[in-house]
């Protein structure tokens, strides 16, 4: 199986979307779940898919050091290689690494102006120009609409889209729209929403918004051993 075959196995296609570019510049997507269910693994799968398509991905880890972020990519890619029996593993790494840049922040030190400053430095020096930004660990617990609106404006200006991982609290009951209360207040800013739902030893994957075929049915499961999506 070659690199292009792995691209065909990306999470968005498995969820029924026939285009890899489901998010336009300025678009927002979110993977939400309780702690420890697999949000980061799905986010990394989305990032790897973009890298395989020669698109630059900026991974922003909040409270995770660079080494831990790198381990996530190592584990997810090796599981993909094993699951789909991909030959020429070294060539895949050669494809992916030039298209990845990792930034880490403490949650309390992250802000859109600081991100804009660091991004501008990278772009103006010709070091890295992202097409996708993955923000892992962004807190939805506070008043964040203004920050999200600023980030949306920045992403449109600089030409990238953003995926978030979002932690859902166990005690919060979904509203009538099916969304967690902390997400409902900013839901209009998002184009795609995916939720991971524990079901015994399995994890069910549900597309809540913006994916072709979105319905009440669970279309995919997350393999608890590899944290890869399976249909």
The larger pLDDT score, comparing residue 225 to residue 109, is at: 109
> How many domains does the chain contain in total?
1
Q: Please report which confidence band the pLDDT of residue 184 belongs to, taking 50, 70 and 90 as the band edges.
A: very high
| CB-CB contact of 7 with 20 (8 Å) | yes
**Exposure of 213 by Cβ count < 10 A (0-12 exposed, 13-18 middle, 19+ buried)?**
exposed
Residue 48 lies in a domain: yes
Q: Name the residue among 19, 28, 6 with its Cα closest to residue 194.
A: 28
Section 215-219 average pLDDT: 50
Q: Provide the domain limits for residue 31.
A: 3-200+210-230
**pLDDT classification of 201: cutoffs 50, 70, 90:** confident
Q: Note the pLDDT tens digit of each residue in 84-103.
A: 777 767 778 888 899 999 99
Does residue 63 sit within a domain? yes
Q: Is residue 39 part of a domain?
A: yes
Mean per-residue pLDDT, 15-25 = 69
pLDDT in tens, 78-88: 888 888 777 76
Provide the CATH number for the domain around residue 150: 3.40.50.300
- Say if residue 218's pLDDT is above 60: no
Tell me if 205 is assigned to some domain: no
pLDDT at 1 > cutoff 50: no
Q: Where are the beta strands (DSSP E) in the chain?
A: 28-33, 57-62, 100-105, 132-136, 161-167, 192-199, 202-209, 220-222, 229-230
pLDDT tops 60 at residue 16: no
- Tell me, what's the pLDDT at 220? 73
Residue 11: its pLDDT value, please? Answer: 60
Residue 53 located in a structural domain: yes
Any domain includes 147: yes
Section 223-231 average pLDDT: 77
């Amino acid at each position: 199986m070659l690199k292009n075959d792995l691209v065909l196995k990306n999470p968005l296609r498995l969820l029924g979307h026939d285009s890899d570019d489901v998010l336009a510049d300025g678009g927002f997507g979110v993977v939400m779940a309780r702690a420890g269910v697999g949000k980061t693994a799905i986010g990394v799968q989305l990032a790897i898919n973009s890298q395989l398509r020669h698109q630059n991905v900026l991974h922003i880890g909040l409270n995770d050091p660079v080494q831990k972020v790198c381990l996530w990519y190592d584990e997810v890619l090796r599981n993909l290689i094993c699951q789909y029996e991909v030959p020429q593993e070294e060539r895949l790494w050669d494809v992916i690494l030039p298209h990845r840049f990792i930034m880490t922040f403490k949650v309390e030190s992250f802000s859109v102006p600081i991100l804009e400053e660091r991004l501008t430095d990278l772009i103006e020096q010709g070091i890295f120009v992202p097409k996708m930004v993955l923000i892992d660990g962004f807190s939805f617990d506070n008043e964040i609409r203004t920050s999200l609106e600023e980030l949306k404006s920045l992403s449109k200006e600089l030409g990238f889209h953003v995926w978030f991982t979002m932690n859902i609290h166990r005690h919060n009951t979904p509203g009538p729209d099916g969304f967690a209360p902390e997400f409902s207040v900013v839901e209009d800013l998002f184009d795609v929403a995916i939720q991971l739902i524990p079901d015994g030893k399995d994890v069910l994957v549900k597309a809540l918004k913006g994916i072709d075929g979105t319905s009440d049915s669970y279309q995919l499961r997350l393999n608890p051993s590899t944290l890869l999506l399976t249909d």
